[in-house]
Structure 1
Amino acid sequence: MVLPVLALAGDEYSGSNTFMLGVALGIYGATQALLQIPFGLLSDRFGRKPLIVIGLILFAAGSVIAASADTVAGLIIGRALQGAGAIAGVIMAMVSDLTTLENRTKAMASIGASIGVAFALALIVGPWISSYSVMGFSGVRLLFAVTVVLSLAGMLILFFAIPSVSSLQQKTTQVSLQQLRIVGANKQCVLLYFGVFVLHYVLMASFLVVPLLLEQADILRADHSWVYLGVMLSSFVVMVPLMIVSEKMGIVKQSLLATIALLTAAIIAMLWLYHLAWGIIACLVAFFIAFNYLEANLPSLLSKILPPENKGAGSGLFATCQFLGAALGGVVGGGLYQQWGLAATLFSTAVLLSAWFFVATGMTIPVRAKQVR
């Protein structure tokens, strides 16, 4: 929810500039990346649920700090603590624990799709919620207050709706240095890790620019939610059939390359159409057709490659690369914007996407689950 709003909130925090706002966006990914594997190792020893609870508590505490911050330094501290609740890898490992080998690919694809849907809803409701004032909270601060409530709701769901994982089930997803070396040395895994790194760098860097482009195109801040609603609905109309058709026809690799190319084209087009409202909206539709497809399919592809005994290690590295990309997207993207303007930020995303397209041509997409040796 913060992503489409924070770039416009510089006047709400003292000491703020584009680079510092980029740090505030990126620091969340940095602490997430740093703690994903330690959280996974600890969850193997102490159980999935206790570590998820700790992560949610840290996230809620960070939200409280960010909601009460008046300076950009306080905002950064709050965001860092939010990111310290690094439970993405633990959750993916728990899903592996609770599903059979036959259903695991579907479960991972469902996670990817649910993340896409949640992200879409967050884009839509974030600007809308930030336009209100509730109990002294308004703007971005209100969004952080809402995330406190959502953290508590997550704990209730965890305790009352999610089955516990036995120690016997957890043995199939324990992480060791040997397993990290195995998945880290596998070319297909590495290509997916690089892909998710680039994808989230692009997302974070782009959204230092996109909200400002909407304003420059004379789209009022209060109308941004409607823009994102139309964009996301349009993108899902194309993306969902694309997922189904590419899987049924066995053209997953071709679809992967096509969506990377589409994402690159959307970024480049923004540089030319930034002054036109319809142009920016059209670019955003293309952007999210590609982004949502890739976000949903990369975890599914990883689950096809990794065997059960390496799920924990593979999931941990995947989440680490994802959040590292988000971290650098915020920090590097903000720094480029501060020094050379929005064109430099967008150009950096296009360069990385071009590199991803090039290396992705060498990917081998498995038809059925295969083991990494």
Structure 2
Amino acid sequence: MNNLERRSTFALSSIFALRMLGLFMIIPVFSVTGQTYQHATPALIGLAVGVYGLSQAILQIPFSLWADRYHRKTLIVIGLLLFAVGGAVAAMSDSIYGVIVGRAIAGAGAVSAVVMALLSDVTREEQRSKAMAIMGMSIGLSFTIAFSLGPWLTSLVGISGLFWVTCILGILAIFTLLLVPKTTRHHRNFQQGYLSQLKQVLKMQDLNRLHFSIFSLHLLLTAMFVYLPSQLIEFAGIPLSKHGMVYLPLLVASLFVAFPSIILAEKYRQMRGIFIAAIAAVVVGLAILSFGEYSKYILLVGLAFFFIAFNVMEALLPSWLSKSAPIQSKATAMGVNASAQFLGAFVGGTVGGQLLMLNNTELGWGILTAVAIVWLLISFGLKQPRYLSSMVLTLPEHISTAEWTAKLLTFRGVEEVVVMSDQNVAYIKLDKREIVETERQELTHLIGRDLAI
């Protein structure tokens, strides 16, 4: 990765991490602390926790449709402001209804897909899986840190103080956008209405398989973390306050397997094979966990399989999605994917709660394993994604940028030109296999560099 990509990846990953840190810190404490609010009932406490995800699922698609037409950084700022305002509303509330409203407002800043789309703009195709891996790692680390930090912070500042912390984290995330260069995207313009654009994305079968994948992954993740803590306490003898110390080493260790897998998938164009193998690892991990009552080491091995697969999938899914989605509808496809992710988390939480009521650990893990097997079977229909190449070019001095990009897009195989005027560079994303020899020389002259096919 070049310096620009590293800086942008750090900034956009920080936005994800800061938002998720604020979100996750609430989860392990609110079922208890929420009882102190006026009019609180178990159902309303559950709604206060879940309404954030519901708002996210509903508004991801509208935000992503706008992101394919308007400046993505502007939409991210709006989303982060909503996140901060929602935190402030919840912090100032004495009633559970005020907390519900605040959480709904915070969730209305549904810009996860917009952040990922912007990351795909400022990274080359060959480096995207690495960037997505870093973003996935930031999410995993924020999850682990939040579950460890939330109870401690609540003991210091109370639940209202914790909501103020989420507000501050949202504001801090806005400032990290200053590290991301201003981008102007140029591609072949296909005029579509919002509904037509959404229909186009929903008709693509491979994209639908990827949406089902993110839905299944987060369903299983959420259900597992509802279902697993009681087993760590009962069978492994690990108190709740120490669970973060279990997750963090396993998460870090899994990266030593996940990163080479991601590099293999991208460099040797084995994305489909690695993807299928990761789902198989989820199946194996869940199957091992079904025997966790016999040994804490079995629990840890099952968790290790799951964490490895989770990190691989978190990196490959957005990268694959950006390769398969139509250029002009990239953010829209990511918005549908993000909605599927939050719906998966919502369903996973519900399923996990029902599994707890079974009082049969082997049956519970067996049900989750069956879900993973269905996911694996559906994913066999995926085709290898299209691989584009990227070139980093200095903007020309002898011709206007608009005229230069317009000429570039007349060549078959040139899919998109992302201009970062403040850096005086542009990324050209192209499929070299579609460029014929007669056009190669003309394109070489236009970009001022030899283009090898």
- The equivalent of 1:11 in structure 2 is 32
Task: Write the mapping of 1:123-138 to structure 2, written as runs, cut at 5 A.
Answer: 123-133=143-153, 136-138=156-158
1:225 aligns with 2:249: no
1:28 aligns with 2:48: no
Q: Which blocks of at least 5 consecutive residues in structure 1 are unaligned? A: none
- The equivalent of 2:432 in structure 1 is none
Q: 1:128 to 1:54 in 2, by over 3 A?
A: same
- The equivalent of 2:218 in structure 1 is 200
**TM-score, structure 2 normalization:** 0.70
Cα deviation, residue 346, structure 1: 4.3
Looking at structure 2, the residues matched to 173 and 210 of structure 1 have their Cα atoms a distance apart, in angstroms, of 49
1:332-357 Cα offsets, whole Å, 9 max, x none, are 433x1465357476454323211110
1:188-247 Cα offsets, whole Å, 9 max, x none, are 111111111111111122111223322223212332222122111111111112222344
Could you tell me which amino acid in structure 2 is paired with residue 282 of structure 1?
A: V
> Highest CA radius of gyration, 1 or 2?
2
**Structure 1, 85-94 or 352-361: larger mean CA deviation:** 85-94
Cα deviation, residue 135, structure 1: 8.9
- The equivalent of 1:176 in structure 2 is 194
- The equivalent of 1:358 in structure 2 is 377
Could you tell me which amino acid in structure 1 is paired with residue 145 of structure 2?
A: V
Could you tell me which amino acid in structure 1 is paired with residue 140 of structure 2?
A: A
Task: Write the mapping of 1:1-373 to structure 2, written as runs, cut at 5 A.
Answer: 1=21, 3=24, 6-7=27-28, 10-14=31-35, 24-44=48-68, 47-66=71-90, 76-98=100-122, 103-104=124-125, 106-107=127-128, 109-133=129-153, 136-138=156-158, 144-158=163-177, 160-166=178-184, 176-216=194-234, 217-274=236-293, 276-334=295-353, 336-337=354-355, 339-341=357-359, 343=361, 346-366=365-385, 368-369=387-388
Q: 1:190 to 1:235 in 2, by over 3 A?
A: same
Greater strand fraction, Structure 1 or Structure 2 = 2
**Structure 1, 22-31 or 33-42: larger mean CA deviation:** 22-31
Higher relative contact order (CA 8 A, sep 6+): 1
Looking at structure 2, the residues matched to 282 and 175 of structure 1 have their Cα atoms a distance apart, in angstroms, of 49
* Contact 1:174–1:313 (Cα < 8 Å) also in 2: no
Q: 1:275 to 1:64 in 2, by over 3 A?
A: farther
* Contact 1:267–1:287 (Cα < 8 Å) also in 2: yes
How many residues align structurally?
Answer: 363
Q: 1:69 to 1:201 in 2, by over 3 A?
A: farther
Q: 1:90 to 1:366 in 2, by over 3 A?
A: closer
* Contact 2:117–2:334 (Cα < 8 Å) also in 1: yes
* Contact 1:200–1:326 (Cα < 8 Å) also in 2: yes
Greater helix fraction, Structure 1 or Structure 2 = 1
**Structure 1, 83-92 or 123-132: larger mean CA deviation:** 123-132
Aligned partner of residue 229 in structure 1, secondary structure: helix
Q: Which blocks of at least 5 consecutive residues in structure 2 are unaligned? A: 1-20, 389-412, 416-453
Aligned partner of residue 368 in structure 1, secondary structure: coil
Aligned partner of residue 295 in structure 1, secondary structure: helix
**Structure 1, 85-94 or 246-255: larger mean CA deviation:** 246-255
Looking at structure 2, the residues matched to 74 and 264 of structure 1 have their Cα atoms a distance apart, in angstroms, of 41
